[in-house]
Structure 1
Amino acid sequence: MGRLGVILVAILIAIGLSSVLVVNEGERAIVSRFGKILKDDGVTRVYAPGLHLKVPAIDKIRYLDARIQTLDGAADRFVTSEKKDLMVDSYVKWRIKDFEKYYLSTNGGIKANAETLLQRKINNDLRTEFGQRTIREIVSGKRDELQIAALKNATESAQDLGIEVVDVRVKQINLPDNVSSSIYQRMRAERQAVAKEHRAQGKEQAEIIKATIDADVTVKIAEAEKQALTVRGEGDAEAAKIYADAYGKDPEFYAFLRSLEAYKKSFSGNSDVMVLEPDGEFFEYINNAGVK
């Protein structure tokens, strides 16, 4: 085979390969030829997964993802039946149900166009559901009812896009930043007022308890001092009686002991000068020391 034959074979192989349309699992394909979509009996021809034939360089292929898609847009503002604003973050699970309608309604099966249109419809449905409920109903366990109603409405409204809405979920519900700030400030002020009241009550109770304890301590100290004085008085009386009884048995000896005690205190001081009469009573036992 000459060079020309090799070239012809290569061209034929290239044409054959370019004539094969490969649709992967999870995809569908729509073919347009000379700007017109291929149809069978007026119905758009949708190519299922597998190998198909096409006209090289003429047919244009648009691949469509048949798997479940997730639309997770930005949070949007909704108004409740009380005319309160809420920032709602939600997501949608969807897939293509009618490929012909989807292709035509999204300007050639462009996913971004489909998500924009679907997000608009979902937001409208959610806005309707939020507008029929109060904040308490939305956050107090009735969110499932809201999501079920939104899913039902979204399924109906998305039909004209050829889309099947599989699920609608509300991820998060928040108040707008300016509203949240004012609410938090009011809550903080209320908590501070309650805390201040509790502190005042605690301080009052502390003063009452302290005053009660101080009074009890004062009474107990007074009673203890009274009892101590009584005991001390009784002890002194008992000691005086014992001394009187003891000294009463020998008054002379008692007088002698008293004089010795007086001598001890007088002569043991810092001053050794005393001005006394030598024959006074103070020196009675000293003057008579030599008398037997």
Structure 2
Amino acid sequence: MSTKSLMALVGGLLIVIVAANSLYIVNEFERGVELRLGRVSNGDLDRGLHVKFPFVDSVKKFDGRIMTLDAPAEPILTVEKKTVEVDSYAKWRILDVKKFYTATNGEIDRARSLLSQRINEELRNQFALRSLHEVVSGQRDELMLAIKDELNKFSDTSLGIEVVDVRVKRIDLPVEVSGPVFERMRAERELEAAQHRAEGEKMAKITRADADRKARVERAKAYRDAEKIKGEGDAIAADTYAKAYNQDSEFYAFVRSLEAYRATFAQKQDVMLVDPASDFFRYFKSANGDAAKGVQK
């Protein structure tokens, strides 16, 4: 290889090295700062291709997406001085890259450690103002919102971090106090259940008594209406009988006698001892009853 070719090769390599140290890309999901001799020269790099002075400027890039900080469970006291084990996590992202780099020297682990300590302090401060019931169910949303607001006051100004959300995954009682607490809760629930049962039985008795009263009233009304209808029917029947008798008294007497015969001799073993000249046999001897009348004469 000739000297000229060697020099061209060396020159090409130098150009590639200089170009590689002069150009860099910041992706859409990244945030970055440009340093010149260790000091921040550009605190918020835009996304895209950039040029820097080779071997003088350097670039620090960080993940600009929302990250999760899973804090370890910590014992915390409530306003009643009850100890609870609180397991929480936070969602955060870098908001001010220059401030973040200055506060943490660009170390994500250091940022996590500082934020974890601050979350623990805010949890203690907020839990100390609330009862166990409030932190478990009564004011959970208000508690998380208050913690997030207080964290952002610190992290925004001191770390260049935005806390997007803070959540409590689990709140446990210590083993030595969980038993008595559970027993008290069970007793309270049993008392509440007994009160509900007593109220239910009271309402059931009232409902049954009201239903019985209404049933008696309805039966009385039905009996009254039935007796009224029966009386009206009896009156109509009596009036019909009277009219029929007045139209043909002899035929009416004949029909009544047939009914009497049918009822009297319904069974073959029936026996009667009656005078043959009795008016009972009036129509046995004559259809119009004249023979019986002659006998009586």
- TM above 0.5, yes or no, is yes
* Identity level (%): 22
Tell me if 1:171 matches 2:166: yes
* Equivalent position to 1:122, from 104, 112, 115: 115
Aligned-pair CA distance for 1:13:
0.9
Name the CA shift for 1:253/1:91 in 2 (closer, same or farther; >3 Å): closer
Q: Give CA-to-partner distance per residue, 1:240-283, whole Å, 9 cap, x none.
A: 6886798699987765554343345567x574986666834243
* Distance of 1:101 and 1:233 partners within structure 2: 109
* Distance of 2:54 and 2:235 partners within structure 1: 135
Q: Give CA-to-partner distance per residue, 1:124-179, whole Å, 9 cap, x none.
A: 222223322324598464756544543444467x6xxxxx4232343313442568
Q: Secondary structure at the match of 1:176?
A: strand
* Equivalent position to 2:205, from 198, 204, 207: 207
Match for residue 73 of structure 1? 69
Superposition pairs of residues 17-32 of structure 1, within 5 angstroms = 17-20=16-19, 21-24=21-24, 26=26, 27=32
* Equivalent position to 1:131, from 108, 113, 124: 124
Match for residue 217 of structure 1? 215
Q: Which residue type is aligned with residue 172 of structure 1?
A: R
Name the CA shift for 1:67/1:249 in 2 (closer, same or farther; >3 Å): closer
TM (norm. structure 1) is: 0.59
* Distance of 1:173 and 1:210 partners within structure 2: 50
User: Structure 1: which 5+ runs fail to align?
Assistant: 32-38, 159-163
* Distance of 2:63 and 2:241 partners within structure 1: 119
Q: Give CA-to-partner distance per residue, 1:213-245, whole Å, 9 cap, x none.
A: 223323442454356447646865786688679
Q: Secondary structure at the match of 1:88?
A: strand
Q: Report which stretch shifted further, 190-199 or 73-82.
A: 190-199
User: Structure 2: which 5+ runs fail to align?
Assistant: 27-31, 43-49
Q: Secondary structure at the match of 1:283?
A: helix
* Distance of 2:145 and 2:259 partners within structure 1: 107
The number of aligned residues is: 259
Q: Give CA-to-partner distance per residue, 1:169-190, whole Å, 9 cap, x none.
A: 43313442568x9999987986
CA contact (8 A) 1:30 1:47 kept: yes
Q: Give CA-to-partner distance per residue, 1:30-65, whole Å, 9 cap, x none.
A: 69xxxxxxx5xxxx36687414344xxxx9x96411
Q: Give CA-to-partner distance per residue, 1:10-41, whole Å, 9 cap, x none.
A: 2321133224422425555669xxxxxxx5xx
CA contact (8 A) 1:91 1:170 kept: yes
TM (norm. structure 2) is: 0.58
